[in-house]
Copies of this chain bind each other. A is one copy, B any other.
Amino acid sequence: MSIDAATTSELRAILGARLSFNEGDRAAHGREESYHRTLSPDMVGYPESTAEVAAIIRACARTATPVIPYGTGTSLEGHIAAVNGGLCLDTSRMNRVTEIRPADLDVTVQPGVTREALNKALAGHGLFFPVDPGADASLGGMAATRASGTTTVRYGSMRENVLNMEVVLADGRVIRTASRARKSSAGYDLTRLFVGSEGTLGVITELTLRVHGLPEAMSAAVCSFPALEQAVLCVASVIQLGVPVARAELLDEIYIDAVNRRSGLGLKTMSTILFEFHGSEGSVKHDAEEVAALARDFGAASVESATTQQDRNRLWRARHEAYYAGLALRPGSKGLVTDVCVPISSLARCIAETRADIEKTDLIAPILGHVGDGNFHVCFLLDPARADELEQAQAVNRRMVARAIEMGGTCSGEHGVGYGKAEFLAAEHGEALNVMAALKKTLDPQGIMNPGKMTDAALDLAHHVRGERPAEPAG
């Protein structure tokens, strides 16, 4: 779209030199870490305060100019693509840790603070923030996508760890979603409505988060299994027995090979579960023994423990870099990463049937997962120049999503919808999708907040299927 001149000059008055029309800057803000194509915004703004964000939104609302909130651009489903152009609102300059309250185990931060920056600020207090998606994402972005990570099995996702947010609405009003109380029954749960809303309902300008005390003791166990199914069944059993593991991460033998190459870890090239245990010295030892016994029952070829912090750090760094290690298996490739999450009793079957589907293609597609939550990712390593590979991967993914939904699961455990997963929302939610669209319409009647994503995209596709109107986003 072409941006109204009055809007531009109003934005210039608010942001001064922090409003950019530079082409490189625009392209960098229309591109994410996935296979989705770059769709650049018309301009990029770098606000420094809630008041600036509110003024920006009011200016954009007057001319229905799209606003796309932006954290670190590490989303995977086209979340930040400017499908209708407009203003990218980059929150990276709102990066202050406002207050750390050790006595309440909570912190208040601006949305541009990244999870690693927060953990650096917390370390001196003996505290940590557990939610850890692969990237060093911003906390505003993590809340907006309802991110989770390797410790969600124990500490929950952003859903459980956001206490309160300040949000600028689509008309410039500023609200607080809740208080700092650990629980409340006083009104509708606006916090959870905005967590996972992907910038489509408003801009998160401040977050109050739960933090946790560093455990007295930690240890890790590396369990290598001859067969992928054994590994998954072992984790299901650990969860069913209620062993309070802090992490239970699967890497298949392809990923193990990849991280061995990248990090020189020397792990057995087998399907592997990385467990971590948090607690007292005694409970950690007890949990580790219980898990080791279960792993042997399920046929583990080896169970090795890592109790020193150095060993554990190497292990988890390798795990966090697995996505990039995987891409390096095929230089120049782009990843299409799937994200289904199913009830844990169905997980082994879901993975096995998916693997069988993959084997019918000639794609390289390693699997890893937060299997303690029933969530796993297939990473298709695609040659961006070959449309046939993308088609094959999408076909496998579509079958996998249908399978997951049929098993009582979801198309997305943690990556979100953007426009990349919009095609699955109708099948997953049925009539509830129309309720979601009604909520969107209520809070953003002009459709200026991150347009073309989530319900916008899902209903466009639904109309397309029914032949009512074209699915292609404008711009």
Residues of chain B contacted by A186 (CB below 8 angstroms): 410-412, 416-417, 421, 424-425, 428-429
Interface 1/0 per residue, A173-189 and B, CB below 8 Å: 11111111111111111
Among residues 187 to 245 in chain A, which have CB atoms less than 8 Å away from a CB atom of chain B? 187-190, 192-193, 195-197, 201, 212-213, 215, 236, 239-242, 244
Stretch at the interface among A97-105, A354-362, A391-399: A97-105
- The answer to whether the Cβ of A124 comes within 8 Å of any Cβ in the partner chain is no
Stretch at the interface among A112-120, A342-350, A377-385: A342-350
- The answer to whether the Cβ of A409 comes within 8 Å of any Cβ in the partner chain is yes
Chain A contact residue count (CB 8 A cutoff) = 95
Question: Is B408 within 8 A of A180, CB to CB?
Answer: yes
Interface 1/0 per residue, A421-434 and B, CB below 8 Å: 10011001111110
- The answer to whether the Cβ of A438 comes within 8 Å of any Cβ in the partner chain is yes
Question: Is A175 within 8 A of B430, CB to CB?
Answer: yes
- The answer to whether the Cβ of A72 comes within 8 Å of any Cβ in the partner chain is no
Separation in Å of the A112 CB from the closest CB of chain B?
21
Question: Is B432 within 8 A of A443, CB to CB?
Answer: no
Smallest Cβ-Cβ distance to A198: which chain B residue? B185
Smallest Cβ-Cβ distance to A404: which chain B residue? B181
Complex: A431 Cα to B175 Cα, angstroms: 6
Smallest Cβ-Cβ distance to A281: which chain B residue? B286
- The answer to whether the Cβ of A66 comes within 8 Å of any Cβ in the partner chain is no
Stretch at the interface among A40-48, A55-63, A142-150, A253-261: A142-150
- The answer to whether the Cβ of A283 comes within 8 Å of any Cβ in the partner chain is yes
- The answer to whether the Cβ of A373 comes within 8 Å of any Cβ in the partner chain is yes
Interface 1/0 per residue, A86-126 and B, CB below 8 Å: 00000000000000011111100000000000000000000
Residues of chain B contacted by A145 (CB below 8 angstroms): 185
- The answer to whether the Cβ of A366 comes within 8 Å of any Cβ in the partner chain is no
